[in-house]
Amino acid sequence: MTESKAELRSVDTEAEFGLDVPEYFFYLLFQAVRRRDAAFERALSPLGLSLGQWRAISTVRRFGVCSMSDLAAFTAVDRTTLTRSVDQLVKRELMSRSTPAADRRQVHLTLTRQGQDTYDQAVDQLLAFNRQALEGVDGARQREISRGLATVIRNLAPDPQVAEALIRFEPALMRG
């Protein structure tokens, strides 16, 4: 006699959750991120930005000068999609693209003054969404969850150096 797939699925042994704890963790993480992203994308719409474009702008702003490789790594967006987003941002004069003479294969991205202004308009909304999403989760708990997520990234990243670069949001760590 065979058991159904539902019967084979492990369930939380403490009966707190309807799913196995690791499965439930990633389900909740997905739900939280998607709902926050959807609400934030609606808020970005009046600025003419998609969420992907926002991620590019905010990452380039953080780094000052950013390579396409670093942008792809830190936004977790495939290069083709990212190139399309950057092309649109350059066309709108929110970002500039340059190629250093020393290595013509490299592409460096920076924000324009208009790009910085756009960032400034959007970041307050992002911070408000983050505060709303974390309402009732105290600072110590936020740190605990962040440390847990950092461990997950370490477990999933292709190598420890990449993991630390992503966790610390430091592109120089990618190169050792």
Residue 98, H or E segment: strand 95-98
Check if the beta carbon of residue 27 is closer than 8 Å to that of residue 35. no
Domain positions in the chain are: 18-126
Tens digits of residue pLDDT in 129-147: 899 999 999 999 999 999 9
**pTM (2 d.p.):** 0.85
In degrees, to the nearest 5, what angle opens at C-alpha 77 toward C-alphas 129 and 99?
110
CATH 3.30.450.20 fits 18-126, yes or no: no
Note the pLDDT of residue 8: 46
Per-residue pLDDT of the chain (176 residues), as tens digits, is: 455 555 546 688 888 888 899 999 999 999 999 999 999 999 999 999 999 999 999 999 999 999 999 999 999 998 899 999 999 999 999 999 998 888 888 899 999 999 999 999 999 989 998 999 999 999 999 999 999 999 999 999 989 999 999 999 998 887 76
At residue 18, the pLDDT reads 84
Contact 97, 86 (CB under 8 A): yes
CA torsion 7-25-154-67 (nearest 10°) is 120
Q: In what order do the strands lie in the sheet with 108-111?
A: 66-67, 108-111, 95-98
Rounded CA-CA distance 168/118 in Å is: 25
